[in-house]
Amino acid sequence: MKRVIVGLSGGVDSSVAAYLLKEQGYEVIGLFMKNWHDDSVTISNECPWLEDSNDAMIVADKLGIPFQVVDLSEQYKERIVDYMFKEYEMGRTPNPDVLCNREIKFDVFLKIAKELGADYVATGHYCRKGEEDINEESVYKLLAGADINKDQSYFLCQLSQQQLAKALFPIGELTKPEVRKIAAEQDLITADKKDSQGLCFIGKVRLPEFLQQKLKPKEGVIVRIPQDSEIFDRLIPEFETKESELEFFATKYSYNAGDGKVVGKHQGAHYFTKGQRKGLAVGGMKEPLFVIETDVVENVIYAGEGKTHSGLFRNVLFVSNEEIHWVRKDLKLENGDFMEVKSRIRYRQKLEKAILYKVEKGMYVQFKNPQSAITEGQFVAWYVKDELLGSGVIS
């Protein structure tokens, strides 16, 4: 009998995952990961992890499976929180959920599972796993979830073959309504529970306050760049090579404080991210202002009016060699190779046609259509059909 450790988060998805595994004849153990101690930056007084671990325990009890809480807050602080501070400080925007899966759920947690004699770890992610024999080796595939509205393969885009080999995604073939229906039929306490928002199982965190613990507020100006600024009329040269063309279009617009007019103040450029609308608190415009660039050195935020502002759009991005990750190592591109894919630069985005170009210093991703708010530090993931082949950090 194979033993599976399920990460029970106290939500409906992982509850149903545990139930299904038990039905499939696995020996199931539920573990709740506690990753956060500092309640000073959570939004509400209710302590989310206490409530969640309690719900997880009630579900485990109902299913008749062993349950325990593991405290991973030290590793979480080291690998996720410290990394987030560092990225924000450099003016990049990290994705803690992707990291959390790579570093915590399928690394620290996986090690604990192995110590408990587990054959697999399982989570309540909406994605599927495939397997194929290629050159007499088992190759694992990360496939999109059957529920197109909930597909979470993007969050797992940094997993390796070794991690996928040990992973199970029991609800990957189901839709969210089906999952809730099963939970209700089995009378699980989490059946109607709202989906958790906020940082990967920290609970609801106010991001600026969270960041202010380490990154001190520093007043600066917000400069509005007009839509008809000549910055956007850059002359497109004749390109001698495909690489020089890609490099040109991957280069972001650069602004100076003199390129527009000061329309407001902010408390620190490192709290803001490209494409952000909330928190600018500047009134009197025809259309809302969006952040088009942040300069953490000069502490200036550049903003543009409306979500179709030229400063928001580019169709090429670059990933440096050390940030390229292939889930399917056997399909990895060599220098000079290219590949037609579908790609996304954020979780909620529909897949867009793109071409990957591998060059000596890294890889370019050229989208057919311009993309809004390509943000350094976020992950770009690429797919062929419904399989996620790899990902990288946007530089």
Q: Which residues are catalytic?
A: 100, 200
C-alpha–C-alpha distance, residues 118 and 115, integer Å: 7
Element (H, E) at 70: strand 67-71
Question: Do the beta carbons of residue 271 and residue 296 sit within 8 Å?
Answer: no
User: How far apart, in Å, do the first and last CA atoms of the chain sit?
Assistant: 46
Question: Do the beta carbons of residue 259 and residue 219 sit within 8 Å?
Answer: no
Question: Do the beta carbons of residue 304 and residue 224 sit within 8 Å?
Answer: yes
31 phi/psi in degrees, rounded to 5: -125, 135
Tokens of 80: 């996720």
C-alpha–C-alpha distance, residues 197 and 278, integer Å: 17
Tokens of 72: 């991973």
How does 115-149 read in b/e, with b if 16+ C-beta sit within 10 Å? Answer: eeebebbbbbbbbbbeeeeeeeeebbbbbbbbbee
Residues 6+ positions from 18 with CB-CB distance below 8 Å? 6, 8, 28, 30, 59, 60, 63, 65, 122
**Cα distances (angstroms) measured from residue 228 to each of 259, 304, 319, 348:** 11, 11, 30, 30
Tokens of 100: 């959390």
Beta strand 120-122 pairing with 137-144: unpaired
Amino acid type, 362: G
Tokens of 267: 């408390």
Tally of CB atoms within 10 A around 241: 9
